[in-house]
Amino acid sequence: MNNTTSGWASGMMGVLIFSGSLPATRVAVAGFDPLFLTVARASIAGLLACLLLLAFREKRPAREDVVPLVVVSLGVVIGFPLFTALALKHITSAHSIVFIGLLPVATAIFGVIRGGERPKPVFWLFSCLGSAIVAGFALFQEQTASLVGDLLMLAAVIVCGLGYAEGARLSRKLGGWQVISWALAISLPIMLPAVFVTMPQVFPEGGNAAWLGLGYVSLFSMLIGFIFWYRGLALGGIAGVGQLQLLQPFLGLVLASLLLGETVNAGMFAATLAVVACVAGAKKFAR
């Protein structure tokens, strides 16, 4: 298997892992406070990341890489998990997954800001159209819509797009798994003490599902998924492998329906298809 094929396979594995993040978070917030869930998942993954860095004797990042790593940490270690956990207190995971279709556009926008790219004007047309579709879908939902939940999901997409773009840029220099490991390690001095501050006095009784959700988002969503994802970006190319994110809303909707028994109606599928089409068009004219 050559590097390109290996990169696509690794990227696909990352997308499969990320597709279970929102359903797992939905299950976890049923038993844990969103703030505790955020710091707990980051702490568990951060401790494992430190063990990886020590085991492979990785050199410390250069001084100029520290600030970008902090940005990655704020985006994908703290911001996205916290905003999605808070959002899932107000909306279903199936509803929230539609917003994930905007992640490639958000990543591309921050690629323009951080990477100095100059997309064609048609790119912005697709980007604005996709945003309008998501806003309209959220506005006209009857039972699952929540203004607070939708705004939190939009915030999650924005900070995650920034973290993805910054992480992809750094992966060319530091390596794929090293980027997320250092980002987790940087956040650990804050996240670990916060676990004891936010820890509930009484843990959920019989809440095996909540514990499983916490385990999944800690091990897979926070660390293992990023190892596959950044490796895929490094081997297969950021622009090409990044398109695999377009499959995430479909996979997430299927998981939400199969695992949580949530209703996935025709409107959700239609909105997801429309958003994915807009993101695909925006990606085509990103360069």
Token pair 């995971």 in the structure block, residue = 93
Q: Tokens 């490639």 correspond to what residue?
A: 104
Q: Residue-wise over 148-163: b if at least 16 C-beta within 10 A, else e?
A: ebbebbbbbbbbbbbb
Range of the domain at 11: 3-56+63-284
Q: Quote the pLDDT of residue 141.
A: 61
Beta strands in the chain (DSSP E): none
What pLDDT is recorded for position 19? 87
Q: Residue 286: what pLDDT? A: 62
Distance between CA atoms of residues 42 and 56, nearest Å: 21
Query: What confidence score (pLDDT) does residue 139 get?
Result: 64
pLDDT of residue 118: 76
Sign of the Cα torsion 41, 183, 78, 287 reads: negative
User: What CA–CA distances, in Å, run from 239 to 111, 168, 182, 234?
Assistant: 11, 10, 23, 10
Q: What is the pLDDT of residue 184?
A: 96
Distance (Å, rounded) from C-alpha 282 to C-alpha 210?
A: 37
Residue 240: per-residue pLDDT: 63
Q: Which residues of the chain have pLDDT under 70?
A: 1, 94, 115-117, 138-145, 204-207, 237-240, 286-287
Question: Can you tell me the distance from the alpha carbon of 231 to that of 226, in angstroms, rounded to the nearest whole number?
Answer: 8
The predicted pLDDT at position 74 comes to 94
Counting the structural domains of the chain, the total is 1
Looking at residue 64, what is its pLDDT? 94
pTM of full prediction above 0.75: yes
Q: How far apart are CA 44 and CA 150, in angstroms?
A: 28
Give rounded-to-5 percent helix, strand, coil for the chain. Answer: 80, 0, 20
The dihedral region occupied by 118, where left means phi > 0, alpha psi between -120 and 50, and beta the remainder, is: beta
Give the amino acid at 13. Answer: M
